[in-house]
Amino acid sequence: MNTTINNQLSDSSKVWVYQSNRPFSESEMPVLRDKIKGFVTQWTAHKEEVSGAGDILYDRFVVLMADESQVGVSGCSIDSSVNFMRALGSEFNVNFFDRWCIAYKQGEEVKACSRSEFEKLVENNLVNDETIVFNNLVQTKKEFERNWEIAFKNSWLKTLNAADSTFSLVL
Beta bridge partners of 149: 134
pLDDT at 163: 42
pTM here is 0.88
Burial class (CB within 10 angstroms; exposed 0-12, middle 13-18, buried 19+) of 67: buried
Q: How many residues does the chain have?
A: 171
Amino acid in position 99? R
Q: Is residue 83 pLDDT above 90, yes or no?
A: yes
pLDDT in tens, 134-169: 999 999 999 999 999 999 999 988 876 544 444 444
pLDDT at 170: 45
Mean pLDDT of the chain: 87
Q: Is residue 110 pLDDT above 90, yes or no?
A: yes
pLDDT at 71: 74
The answer to whether 28 and 92 are in contact (CB under 8 A) is yes
d(CA 2, CA 61): 13
The answer to whether 167 and 102 are in contact (CB under 8 A) is no
pLDDT at 4: 63
pLDDT at 3: 56
Q: How many CB atoms lie within 10 A of CB 43?
A: 21
If you average pLDDT over residues 81-96, what whole number do you get?
96
Question: Residue by residue, what is the 3-state secondary structure of the chain?
Answer: CCCCCCCCCCCCCEEEEEECCCCCCCCHHHHHHHHHHHHHHHCEECCEECCEEEEEECCCEEEEEECCCCCCCCHHHHHHHHHHHHHHHHHHCCCCCCCCCEEEEECCEEEEECHHHHHHHHHCCCCCCCCEEECCCCCEHHHHHHHCEEEHHHCHHHHHHHHCCCHHHHC
